[in-house]
Amino acid sequence: MKNSILKALSLGVAAGAIAFCTPQAPVQAQGMATTTDASAAPMAVSGTVLRYYVDRSGFVTAMDVQAADGIKMVRFSPSVAQTLTATYPVGSTAAVYVTPSGMGGYSLAGVGATMPAPGAMSMTMPMLVTPIDVLKAEPYTTIGAKTTRVEGDLTGYIADPESGEVLALILDNNTLIRVPRENRQVQASPAPEGITPLIKGSSVVAYGYPESPRYGSVSPFGTRLIATGIAVGGRALGPLGFGKVMTSSKGSLLGFNLQMGGNVTTTPEELSASGLGYWTYTTPSTVSTTTAPPAS
């Protein structure tokens, strides 16, 4: 029975939903855009980098800077994360230009002591779409990608905080598995028969294609899989998927999206960021996926 389940998963029932791009090309979700607000003049910010943050799409897209007039949360495009983390590691002094963000905090406008030109600002500023929109969009893999098998223990999930739709699973080996659209039919509560329960520590086996690398990005997830089939606890995930999950603190798996272990949110800034769907970034070598950030 188990072999038949794994064989069905490897066939890739959702392969038709995967788009292809050339290796190392930037991954763009449908409708993705960057902010280009030229009405706000960039202002210089200099100070110590306290921490970087990961958003719900699993990419580093924000940092806290201790400036002379207080701590500033600065959001930026995933494509500049490698440059920022290499140029301004935690504990170093950053010199950047920012503009006020409509979501609170600031948006990165440029790096260095020179004010950026308006055209250059759009390359660094955050995207208009949300991390949840990124996970709900059609994923990209690379041309010639081969079917991959991954397995591990379930430590968390990423869900749409509004609909309760489970968009991705997190395994204990720094793996993010994108749940096929065909297995994301949200059901009303209480959940009907036929859904797969989310039980922390359950064994997960998934088949699919590696997600195309996002240019310039940094992520705690060394493996990102576009699943074509998933089995949880030896049971193949059906069309009802995981049903509608709770997004409060009383839900299964703590009712949260995943947060990286070793990250105790003790500062007011980290607590505030967790409420916005961010959690503090730690390098994969020290990450242990055990708890989760708020889904609201």
User: Same structural domain for residues 246 and 156?
Assistant: yes
**Type of residue at 74:** V
> What is the average per-residue pLDDT within 127-143?
87
Structural domain includes residue 75: yes
Regarding whether 73 and 172 lie in a shared domain, the answer is: no
Ranges of H-type helices in the chain: 2-11, 81-87, 118-121, 131-136, 268-275
Check whether residue 113 and residue 139 sit in a common domain. no
Higher pLDDT pick, 139 / 28: 139
Name residue, tokens 């763009």: 28
CATH code of residue 221? 2.40.50
Q: Both 10 and 144 in a single domain?
A: yes
Neighbour count for residue 223 (Cβ, 10 Å): 17
Cβ 238 vs Cβ 196: under 8 Å? yes
Pair (124, 137) in one structural domain: no
Of the residues 111, 128, 145, the one at which a domain ends: 128
Tell me, yes or no, whether 203 and 95 share the same domain: no
Q: Is the pLDDT of residue 153 over 50?
A: yes
Q: Does residue 26 surpass a pLDDT of 70?
A: no
Q: So what's the pLDDT on residue 251?
A: 34
Q: Do 145 and 218 reside in the same domain of the chain?
A: yes
| Across 2-29, average pLDDT | 47
Q: Domain check: are 21 and 138 in the same one?
A: yes
Give the Cβ contact number of residue 130 at 10 Å: 17
Nearest-angstrom CA–CA distance, 171 and 225: 11
CATH value at residue 87: 2.40.50.140
Is 277 inside any structural domain?
Answer: no
Say yes or no: 9 and 84 in one domain: no
> What residues contact residue 65 under an 8 Å CB cut-off, 6+ apart?
45, 47, 48, 49, 50, 71, 72, 74, 94, 96
Q: Model confidence over 172-220: pLDDT tens digits?
A: 999 999 999 888 876 655 555 667 888 889 999 999 999 999 989 999 9
Is the overall model pTM greater than 0.95, yes or no? Answer: no
- Which of 152, 148, 167 minimizes the C-alpha distance to 209? 148
What number of other Cβ atoms are within 10 A of residue 26's Cβ?
15
Print the domain residue range for 106.
Answer: 43-128
* pLDDT for res 112: 87
Please tell me whether residues 171 and 204 are part of one structural domain: yes
Looking at the structure, tell me whether residues 177 and 66 fall in a common domain: no
Residue 2 has pLDDT above 70, yes or no: no
CA gap 275, 85 in Å, rounded: 23
pLDDT at residue 157 tops 80: yes
Please write the tens of the pLDDT for every residue from 79-99. Answer: 999 999 999 999 999 999 999
Q: What is the pLDDT of residue 191?
A: 53
Query: In this structure, are residues 174 and 218 in contact, taking their beta carbons and an 8 Å threshold?
Result: no
Q: Of 61, 56, 55, which Cα lies nearest the Cα of 80? A: 61
Could you say which of 105, 128, 151 is where a domain stops? 128
* Counted domains in the chain: 2
Element (H, E) at 98: strand 93-100
